[in-house]
């Protein structure tokens, strides 16, 4: 049984949004908050499908959207993150405050990808030589490449993060989506937590360096999205596995900024339930 298409109803507006529609949508979300996208158009009186409303809000109307040109630092970061994550635009966008996945995707297609295709000297930092003009060539998204350090992620939701309350004790990540592929020697599957636009950044996984495959959580990466985020991140060479090794903490993940999370505390444990997305990353190591 297939799903009923969400936008099949007759009489719905399509195409570009009008200023009035934008205003209605913005006011509705300001009052009622995000979510319930299917009901939103009915309740707000918009002749749009819920998906369209969601997209319009996320990509254009959200107050924290950063308009304007992509800066050089942002471009560098996009290139690096694309090298690391592949076409996981939402994850990349999560690292660029105020930028949307759609914007980054478009920017990549029209700028960076084109540079790479034209044999730009900087193309050494371009992700995949197979990345060419998407309008003229169907591309297979990041085919397995043993020579690449690209992480192929599969986004899943982060359902729970539990932190102990000791100030300096590292928290324990409870990531149900995390799996370990012990069937292959050269692959690993990791959980990648992305904070809601910001602070909490988790990445824990099985170690590619543990030939035994016994410890499911023996390395992590801890990004910090603050003023120094870009400069710090730009220094990281993701192609070097050692960039991960340095942050190994057995079974623990450090969390530097808990402010973006909604704590639900009990006696001994604070349970954070971020609305963020957990990615399930699959690494191909050398």
Partner DNA sequence: AAGTTCGCCAACCGCCAATAG
Partner DNA sequence: ACTATTGGCGGTTGGCGAACT
Binding site for DNA (CB under 7 A): 1, 3-7, 13-17, 34-39, 48, 50-52, 54-56, 59-60, 87-91, 101-103, 105-107, 109-111, 114, 134-135, 138-139, 141, 154-157, 159, 177, 277
Local structure of residue 53 (DSSP, 8 states):
H
If the CB atoms of residues 220 and 276 are measured against DNA, the closer one turns out to be: 276
**Least distance from DNA to the Cβ atom of residue 106, Å:** 4
If the CB atoms of residues 60 and 209 are measured against DNA, the closer one turns out to be: 60
Give CA–CA dist 259/62, Å, rounded. 20
The backbone torsions φ and ψ at residue 54, rounded to the nearest 5 degrees and listed phi first, read -60, -45
If the CB atoms of residues 111 and 259 are measured against DNA, the closer one turns out to be: 111
**Least distance from DNA to the Cβ atom of residue 242, Å:** 26
Strand partners, 155: 279
If the CB atoms of residues 115 and 209 are measured against DNA, the closer one turns out to be: 115
**Least distance from DNA to the Cβ atom of residue 34, Å:** 7
If the CB atoms of residues 51 and 256 are measured against DNA, the closer one turns out to be: 51
Give CA–CA dist 161/157, Å, rounded. 11
**Least distance from DNA to the Cβ atom of residue 169, Å:** 27
Query: Cβ-count burial of 214 within 10 angstroms (0-12 exposed, 13-18 middle, 19+ buried)?
Result: exposed
**Least distance from DNA to the Cβ atom of residue 222, Å:** 21
Residue 270's H or E segment, with its range, is strand 269-272
Q: How many C-beta neighbours within 10 Å does residue 85 have?
A: 24
The backbone torsions φ and ψ at residue 22, rounded to the nearest 5 degrees and listed phi first, read -60, -45
**Least distance from DNA to the Cβ atom of residue 252, Å:** 23
If the CB atoms of residues 177 and 252 are measured against DNA, the closer one turns out to be: 177
The backbone torsions φ and ψ at residue 172, rounded to the nearest 5 degrees and listed phi first, read -110, 130
SS3 32: helix
Give CA–CA dist 78/84, Å, rounded. 10
**Least distance from DNA to the Cβ atom of residue 75, Å:** 12
Give CA–CA dist 115/125, Å, rounded. 11
If the CB atoms of residues 92 and 188 are measured against DNA, the closer one turns out to be: 92
Give CA–CA dist 221/253, Å, rounded. 8
**Least distance from DNA to the Cβ atom of residue 38, Å:** 4
Q: How many C-beta neighbours within 10 Å does residue 149 have?
A: 19
Contact 198, 98 (CB under 8 A): no
If the CB atoms of residues 23 and 154 are measured against DNA, the closer one turns out to be: 154
């Amino acid at each position: 049984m297939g799903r009923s298409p969400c936008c099949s109803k007759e009489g719905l507006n399509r195409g570009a949004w009008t200023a009035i529609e934008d205003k209605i949508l913005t006011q509705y979300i300001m009052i009622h908050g995000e979510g319930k996208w299917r009901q939103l158009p009915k309740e707000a009186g918009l002749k749009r499908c819920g998906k369209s409303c969601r997209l319009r809000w996320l990509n254009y109307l959200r107050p924290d959207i950063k308009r304007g040109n992509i800066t050089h630092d942002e471009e560098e970061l996009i290139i690096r993150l694309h090298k690391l994550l592949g076409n996981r635009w939402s994850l990349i966008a999560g690292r660029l405050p105020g930028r949307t996945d759609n914007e980054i995707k478009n920017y990549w297609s029209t700028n960076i990808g084109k540079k790479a295709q034209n044999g730009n000297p900087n193309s050494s930092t371009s992700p995949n030589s197979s990345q060419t003009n998407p309008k003229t060539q169907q591309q297979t998204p990041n085919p397995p490449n043993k020579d690449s350090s690209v992480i192929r992620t599969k986004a899943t939701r982060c359902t729970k993060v539990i932190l102990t309350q000791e100030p300096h004790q590292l928290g324990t990540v409870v990531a149900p989506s995390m799996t370990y592929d012990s069937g292959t020697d050269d692959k690993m599957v990791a959980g990648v937590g992305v904070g809601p636009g910001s602070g909490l950044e988790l990445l824990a996984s099985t170690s590619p360096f543990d030939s035994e495959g016994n410890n499911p959580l023996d390395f992590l990466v801890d990004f910090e999205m603050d003023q120094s985020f870009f400069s710090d991140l730009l220094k990281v060479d993701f192609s070097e596995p050692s960039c991960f090794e340095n942050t190994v903490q057995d079974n623990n993940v450090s969390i530097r900024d808990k402010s973006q999370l909604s704590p639900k505390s009990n006696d001994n444990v604070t349970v954070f339930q971020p609305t963020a997305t957990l990615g399930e990353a699959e690494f191909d190591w050398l």
